[in-house]
Structure 1
Amino acid sequence: MPQVVALYRHPIKGFTPESVESLTVQADGRVAGDRVLAFRFADAATPEERDGLDHWPKAKGLALQDFPALAALHTRYDDAHGRVRIEHDGAVLVEAGLDDAGRAELTDAVTEFVRGTREGRRLERPGRLPLVLVGDGETSRFQDRARGYVSLHSRASADALGEAAGTGIDDRRFRSNIVIDGVDAWAELEWNGEVRIGDVVLRTEGPIVRCLATHANPDTGERDVKVLTTLTGALRQNEPTLGRLFLPAPQSDGQTPVGVIRVGDEVHVL
């Protein structure tokens, strides 16, 4: 029986995810605590709103696509106390709250780190400094897409990519919320209709076309696997695709429920 083998959330957009035991799917289709903070470039506008839902294109602030070294920063977010802890190479780079002083401390530490990386010169381009830590720490709003979505991929798909690339592939590289096992490679791309994970029913949306962010090793920040050209070359895909998007399935009364997905939950294609 297919089941959930890993769950992730990304409190800070563009940073390596946190591994968690459960995820709450919100009524708007997003994951609680996911992309609730972001480091905005100085000249970027506030998050746009389309149909009442915010989103945050990668070009507005720090993201792995242009700053792969960010993957080497491991974050933990304490929701209850509004505190962010960022580590690098096993040592604490910074830990602070989300008050004005804490945001300044977090921003200064991340700015200094990025300046010292291979991509540091990109931060010096006009309009990018000073960085600003935005987000209230509660509202999930810094997704790439206006609609949000819950993301999922199978371990078999990641393994098939790794075999084609000639190296092991870490699930975190794809920044999915949900990783499942017990299905064939690419099976999730063939699903249509509704899927039940534990007690949560989701409806299938589009496939996930990947970007350069997947080239970054989630521990070192090095671009060490050519994911995009492996998908379109060795695996003969028309577009570099791995994983699937989902939204909660509406109930008979027209309301979309909030549900919790846990590691070990079974996956049923309805």
Structure 2
Amino acid sequence: MTAAVRDIWRHPIKAHGRERLAQVDLTVGAALPWDRVWAVAHEAARFDDAAPAWAHCRNFTRAAGSPSLMAIEAEVDEASGRIRLTHPDRPEISIDPADPADAARFIAWAGPITNPDRPQPARLVRAPDQAMTDTDFPSISLINLATHAAVAAEVGQELSPLRWRGNLLLEGLAPWAEMDWPGKRLQIGSAELEVVEPIVRCMATTANPVTGERDADTLGALKRGWGHQICGVYAVVTQAGTIRAGDPIEVRP
């Protein structure tokens, strides 16, 4: 089987919803369009609203501490800038994140599905020139579905690959093939990506993306089976272009 992209996903509000795409146009030095453009700063966040810039994930409400957030789905209307969000325990909501009134409605909407024992969501924030990825560079995350299957086998139950919140889900590879990719380039569609580093995982991956409940010890499985907490790799765009679901992948030195 030829290595290829099976799915493309973006997460317009960091840790608060995912959206599947058929194709995406990539730009050098940027994350996926509309991926993690916004983030939810919590009440203890050290985020400078007067000089907004990329900030560490510790400043934001995330599924690592609030697993119910994993069950949010999102849909972006790029023409209007509105985002529609759904969750099994909340009414559907549609917001323009740039509108203060809509942003306040969203914070109120997200509160009941945020862990009450963690700092509570306070405001929507963004950096004007960089996505709020977990890396301090504009990354795109790649998940090898064969690696995912190996982790699921170690856990001993079927798992959704959406637990990893990746941008590109890849099929047709050997398990852990991506561990040899840092420093290499990938030709996918008309775009080129350079793989930078592996992704060290957190508690968010223990939560079911359908129910938002913690139901699988993914971190324990990674440690038992392979002695680390890595699944997936981060890459950056080195050549602009379009990627479509089904596009083959060519790995280059």
Give TM-score, length-normalised by structure 2.
0.89
Q: 1:113 to 1:90 in 2, by over 3 A?
A: closer
SS of the aligned residue for 1:27 comes to coil
Given the alignment of the two structures, is residue 142 of structure 1 paired with residue 142 of structure 2, yes or no?
Answer: no
Question: Is the 8 Å Cα contact of residues 192 and 240 (structure 2) preserved in structure 1?
Answer: no
SS of the aligned residue for 1:31 comes to coil
* Distance across 2 between alignment mates of 1:113 and 1:210: 22
- Equivalent residue letter for 1:190: D
Aligned partner of 1:21 in structure 2 is: 22
* Distance across 2 between alignment mates of 1:236 and 1:36: 33
* Distance across 2 between alignment mates of 1:162 and 1:36: 30
Give, in angstroms, the shift of residue 47 of structure 1.
Answer: 6.2
Question: Is the 8 Å Cα contact of residues 47 and 56 (structure 1) preserved in structure 2?
Answer: no
Give, in angstroms, the shift of residue 155 of structure 1.
Answer: 1.0
Aligned partner of 1:37 in structure 2 is: 38
Aligned partner of 2:235 in structure 1 is: 246
* Distance across 2 between alignment mates of 1:17 and 1:107: 17
* Distance across 2 between alignment mates of 1:265 and 1:226: 32
Question: Is the 8 Å Cα contact of residues 5 and 168 (structure 2) preserved in structure 1?
Answer: yes
Aligned partner of 1:121 in structure 2 is: 117
* Distance across 1 between alignment mates of 2:15 and 2:48: 15
Aligned partner of 1:258 in structure 2 is: 240
> Greater CA deviation, 38-47 or 5-14?
38-47
Q: 1:62 to 1:226 in 2, by over 3 A?
A: same
* Distance across 2 between alignment mates of 1:23 and 1:163: 31
* Distance across 2 between alignment mates of 1:31 and 1:167: 31
Aligned partner of 1:60 in structure 2 is: 59
Given the alignment of the two structures, is residue 81 of structure 1 paired with residue 80 of structure 2, yes or no?
Answer: yes
- Equivalent residue letter for 2:206: H
> Greater CA deviation, 152-161 or 90-99?
90-99
* Distance across 2 between alignment mates of 1:111 and 1:90: 12
1:113-148 Cα shifts (integer Å, max 9, x gaps): 43xxxx22324xxxx46x111237x85421121112
RMSD value, Cα: 2.2
* Distance across 1 between alignment mates of 2:48 and 2:22: 29
Give TM-score, length-normalised by structure 1.
0.84
- Equivalent residue letter for 1:121: D
- Equivalent residue letter for 1:141: A
Give, in angstroms, the shift of residue 24 of structure 1.
Answer: 2.6
Residues 7-18 of structure 1 correspond to what in structure 2 (within 5 A)? 7-18=8-19
Give, in angstroms, the shift of residue 23 of structure 1.
Answer: 2.3
Give, in angstroms, the shift of residue 80 of structure 1.
Answer: 1.5
Q: 1:232 to 1:47 in 2, by over 3 A?
A: farther
- Equivalent residue letter for 1:55: W
Question: Is the 8 Å Cα contact of residues 35 and 140 (structure 1) preserved in structure 2?
Answer: no
Give, in angstroms, the shift of residue 86 of structure 1.
Answer: 1.6
- Equivalent residue letter for 1:243: G
Q: 1:61 to 1:91 in 2, by over 3 A?
A: closer
Aligned partner of 1:105 in structure 2 is: 105
Gaps of 5+ in 2: none
Question: Is the 8 Å Cα contact of residues 195 and 236 (structure 2) preserved in structure 1?
Answer: yes
* Distance across 1 between alignment mates of 2:207 and 2:25: 27
**From 211, 226, 234, the counterpart of 1:220:** 211
Q: 1:262 to 1:89 in 2, by over 3 A?
A: same
Identical pairs, percent: 28
Q: 1:90 to 1:78 in 2, by over 3 A?
A: farther
SS of the aligned residue for 2:163 comes to helix
